[in-house]
Amino acid sequence: MSGHSKWATTKHKKAVIDGRRAKNFAKLIKGIEVAARNGGADVDGNPTLFDAIAKAKKNSMPADNIDRAVKRGAGLES
C-alpha cells in the first residue's frame, strides 16, 4: 500500500479508523445534547439522557466529552 515505511501503512489505517470514531462520537454527542436540552441535565430525572450517556460510555467516549456535551445541551456552558 505505501512502500517500505511501516508508519505510512499505519497512518492510512489509523486515519480511516479515527474518522469513523469521530463521526460516531459526533452522533452520540448530538444525542446527549438534545436529551439534556429537552429533559434537563439531571441524569436521575431524565431517562433519555441516561440512555444516551450509557450508549456513549459503551462506545468508549471519554467522560470529559460526555460532561461537556451535557453542560452544552443544558445551557450551562457557553
Does residue 49 contact residue 39 with C-beta atoms inside 8 Å? yes
Tens of pLDDT along 61-70? 999 999 999 9
Check pLDDT > 60 for residue 50: yes
Instruction: Tell me the per-residue pLDDT of 29-42, one tens digit each, with 9 for 90 and over.
Output: 999 999 999 999 99
DSSP state of 1: -
Residue 77 has pLDDT above 80, yes or no: no
Burial class (CB in 10 A: 0-12, 13-18, 19+), 73: buried
- pTM as predicted: 0.83
Fold (CATH) for 28-78: Arc Repressor Mutant, subunit A (1.10.10)
pLDDT at 6 over 60: yes
d(CA 78, CA 54): 24
